[in-house]
Amino acid sequence: MAEFAIAPAPVPTVPIEGEAQAFPVRRILCVGQNYAAHRAEMGGDDRAPPFFFSKPSDAVVPPGRDPAYPSRTQNLHHEIELVVAIGKPGADVAPDAALDLIFGYAVGVDLTRRDLQAAAKGAGKPWDAAKGFDDSAPISAIRRWSKAPPAGRIRLSVNGETRQDATLDDMIWNVAEIVSEASKLWALAPGDLIFTGTPEGVGPLSRGDRVEGEVEGVGRLAFTVA
């Protein structure tokens, strides 16, 4: 085996609830506009299917660390999401077999440079700088899960004021469909995380804001924008 010319980067990890072991993050996939009301507030077509984009694995911000306010933006937005953690490999998986790939679930916030996203959309350019920047994926501990997917409330508050409040049943594509569709575009592998979309109510964050999010039955997430 060849030696590395430089020291390899450490593998990003997320804690597993109640366990000493951690979940190594391989890749982060995200579903866009998967709640009808959020799609409407973003000016999307209600008939179009959700789509995927990605973040680098080292965008994760595990519990206990606060994300930094990013550079080159004046309009940082919060988007709370149910996160699927993949524990088994699978490619071109049917929806009725997709849940077998799931290790567990977590609460995540897809932080977005909304002004850069709008500019990229208008110019027909990629969203990478708007979505895949450093500290753009705060996440809770992962809860192991072996039953039907969560179906409770998903909500987020900023400085005690509720901004987003919906139920997971409002998703256009359910968890099994999302995992199945992702497996047709990529060969999924243990360590992959899939952010499943956000409900309506996304909005701006400022330095010092306290963000608290919850997915009923899955967990809570809290951080201060540093």
Q: What is the per-residue pLDDT across 96-137, written as a single tens digit (0 to 9) for each?
A: 999 999 999 999 999 999 999 999 999 999 999 999 999 999
The pair of three-digit structure tokens given for residue 162, joined into one six-digit string: 């509720």
**CB-based contacts of 140, cutoff 8 Å, min separation 6:** 63, 106, 107, 108, 218, 219, 220, 221
**CB-based contacts of 112, cutoff 8 Å, min separation 6:** 76, 77, 79, 130, 131, 136, 202
- Cα 166 to Cα 223: distance, rounded to the nearest angstrom: 21
pLDDT for position 91: 98
Percent of the chain with pLDDT over 70: 95
pTM for the structure as a whole: 0.95
For the domain bounded by 20-224, which CATH number is listed?
3.90.850.10
Q: What rounded mean pLDDT belongs to the chain?
A: 95
- Cα 191 to Cα 183: distance, rounded to the nearest angstrom: 14
Q: How do 27-32 and 192-195 pair as beta strands?
A: parallel
- The string over 62-93, giving b where at least 16 C-beta atoms fall within 10 Å of a residue's C-beta and e elsewhere, is bbeeebebbeebeebbbbbbbbbbbbeebeeb
What does the pLDDT look like over 142-197, one tens digit per residue?
999 999 999 999 999 999 999 999 999 999 999 999 999 999 999 999 999 999 99
